[in-house]
Chain A
Amino acid sequence: AQTVTQSQPEMSVQEAETVTLSCTYDTSENNYYLFWYKQPPSRQMILVIRQEAYKQQNATENRFSVNFQKAAKSFSLKISDSQLGDTAMYFCAFMKQALNYGGSQGNLIFGKGTKLSVKP
């Protein structure tokens, strides 16, 4: 069974600074997908970034980038130029690849989350 671990329950960062959130996972799968979602106080779960395990290049989305280390089973999220609106719970999630086209991928497996506070 797959597991996802986020070892930092809470973090804080000053506005405009950079912060890195950690995530490790355990799986015997070779093909899978990794995601970071954010959940602000409104509770709406919002996709931040995704990474395909078969891609060596780290994904980036504007101020958000990941450091994907497949051998180490590590998937950290870096937020540059932090903004007050980045304050949220951040969840790392794992999804395996379906066995066949049209088959179920199974569900997202989430970590416990990291509560990030951006301070002015």
Chain B
Amino acid sequence: KAGVTQTPRYLIKTRGQQVTLSCSPISGHRSVSWYQQTPGQGLQFLFEYFSETQRNKGNFPGRFSGRQFSNSRSEMNVSTLELGDSALYLCASSRGQGAGDTQYFGPGTRLTVL
């Protein structure tokens, strides 16, 4: 099976702009989770989508949003970018059936905000 894919791999934006990141899960996986990784805060959970519905949400401002499509692909959007949004954004997919499903990660999107 193909792994989790994320596009783009690298992004450079300026403050105030918005950005959309995309994630394609492993075939058959219905749950997609997003994480932000920074040197200072480590890995932090953003949100989880399952069957096009947000099932879980972390402690991030409303500028961070996401959605999931009927084919389980997911996008996350960050509006009004701030310097502190510079991070590696990781997407992970799992079956989503709640039985200790392992999350498999994509290669990440490196976002730099100038």
Q: Which A residues are within 8 Å of any B CB, using their own CB?
A: 33, 35, 37, 42-47, 50, 52, 91, 95, 97-98, 100-113
Contacts and interface: CB of A to CB of B under 8 A. Distances in A.
Given A44-B107, A113-B42, A107 B58 contact: yes
B98 A101 contact: yes
Chief secondary structure at chain A's binding surface: loop
Q: How large is the interface on B (under 10, 10 to 19, 20 to 34, 35 or more residues)?
A: 20 to 34
9 contacts: A52-B100, A95-B100, A95-B103, A101-B98, A102-B96, A107-B33, A107-B35, A107-B48, A108-B35
A97 B97 CA distance: 10
Interface of B: 33, 35, 42-43, 45, 48, 50, 55-56, 58, 88, 90, 92, 96-108, 110
A92 to B, nearest CB: 11
A29 B98 CA distance: 15
B58 A97 contact: no
Contacts of A42: 107
Contacts of A46: 105
A110 B99 CA distance: 19
A13 to B, nearest CB: 23
A47 B55 contact: no
